[in-house]
Amino acid sequence: MARCSSLSVLLLLTVSTSMSVSTFMATHVGDEAALLAFKAAAISGGYRDDPLASWNGSTGRYCSWEGVRCGGRDQQVVALSLPSHGLTGVLSSAVGNLSSLRTLNLSFNRFSGDIPASLGRLHGLHALDLSHNAFSGQFPINLTSCINLKAIHLRFNQLQGCVPSEIGDKLTGLRVLSLENNNFTGVIPESLGNLTALRALSLAFNHLHGNIPSSLGDITGIQYLALSFNSLSGELPFSLYNLSSLQELQLQKNMLHGRIPADVGSRFPSMRTLGFSGNQLTGSIPDSVSNLTTLQHLGLDDNRLSGHVPRTLGRLHALRHLDINSNMLEADDRGGWEFINSLSNCSQLQRLFLYDNAAFRGELPSSIVNLSTTLQSLCLDGTGISGSIPSDIGNLVGLQLLNVEHTSISGVIPESIGNLGNLTDLYLSNTNLSGQIP
């Protein structure tokens, strides 16, 4: 009887081992077939030199092929990473058969055609990067079945149609959603506010319209939000001003209106880039902007802002770019130019754009020569400034661009302008300057 039991156990072990080996072999055959199908489609554009030369049976198991990483007990493909390989074909639907795939990175190639729906079978996928290709068609709705996704990078393609609301309904673990530089249309789905784990959301450079959903204010940990270069309208939801973790807020080139809140300076303690350029904002620049002490880039240009520029901007010691051109800002000999004095404390300032503010009048403050030597671009054109170019303009040795054309600047060109050894662009036309060129 004991002998029969031993034989039964041995038989079970044999059958189990045989089944495991069969499963192992089937998995490997399936992964290898999927990879070879991927290669055939990816290089269908034709090449003089095979960019995937290692992908053949003579070079050993596919786990050693370039861009392929295997893992797990059965050594299945868990990562396929081939960025910047010059691949010009299409993405084979066979990739959806790589059932253990966690990372797919095919960025910076020249893939075209649709993103295959079969990717929706990759339920273990964590990171998808197909950016900087020429994929077309719509966002593959099947991707929303990949509920373990943490990052989707589809920027710089030719995708079209709407941004699916299912992204916000199903992919609630997403930390990065990057869809900029495509051809998406429609509105921003309210459901994106469900993506409370997001750290970065970019829908910039598309054709989106309508209001910005107030639900985006629920993404309390978000650090990067870019909605610029669309056709968004309405007022900026006040809920966005509660996103205290934001480091970059890019809203340029839309049709947003309203005022910047007076207490904006207490809302974003880590803000580095605040981009409101190219909208229809009105009112004044709040004094509290000077409290955004981590700010490096402030873009308020091409709006309808009025009043004086805050005199305390010099508190922004990290400031590199200040763009307040193309507004209705005011200054004259009675007041309003104090911010120029203050900016001398901004030791990293590289760009100061004041142009096309017709109500900037009076003499150009001589303190402008005390700005940082890191300053590269100074544009005052299209303003109402008068007086002379300060004699010590040559102190700004980092200047590459100086533009004072279409102003009432008069007098002679200072000799010290010859000290600007980095100057490549000098615009002095349509002024009242006289005398010889130094």
Per-residue pLDDT averaged across 236-250, rounded?
98
Average model confidence (pLDDT) across the chain? 93
* Residue 6, Cβ density class (10 Å: 0-12 exposed, 13-18 middle, ≥19 buried): exposed
Q: Where does 311-436 have alpha helices with state H?
A: 338-343
pLDDT band at 28 (very low <50, low <70, confident <90, very high): low
Q: What is the pLDDT of residue 72?
A: 86
Q: What is the pLDDT of residue 82?
A: 98
Residue 360's DSSP bridge partners are 331
Q: What is the pLDDT of residue 50?
A: 86
Cα–Cα distance for residue pair 130/89, rounded to 1 Å = 13
* Structural domains in the chain plus CATH codes: 285-438 (3.80.10.10)
Cα–Cα distance for residue pair 115/132, rounded to 1 Å = 13
Longest CA–CA span in the chain (Å) reads 120
Q: What is the pLDDT of residue 73?
A: 86
- 54-58, 204-208, 344-348, 396-400: segment of lowest average pLDDT: 54-58
Q: What is the pLDDT of residue 22?
A: 39
262-295 pLDDT tens trace: 999 999 999 999 999 999 999 999 999 999 999 9
Q: What is the pLDDT of residue 45?
A: 66
Q: What is the pLDDT of residue 3?
A: 47
Kind of pairing between the strands at 103-105 and 76-81: parallel
Strand, helix or coil for residue 178: strand
56-104 pLDDT tens trace: 866 558 999 999 999 988 889 999 999 999 999 999 999 999 999 999 9
Contact 280, 304 (CB under 8 A): yes
Contact 316, 295 (CB under 8 A): yes
Q: What is the pLDDT of residue 198?
A: 98
Q: What is the pLDDT of residue 437?
A: 83
Q: What is the pLDDT of residue 4?
A: 45
Cα–Cα distance for residue pair 258/260, rounded to 1 Å = 7
Q: What is the pLDDT of residue 438?
A: 82
pLDDT above 70 as % of the chain: 92
334-364 pLDDT tens trace: 999 999 999 999 999 999 999 999 999 999 8
Q: What is the pLDDT of residue 12?
A: 42
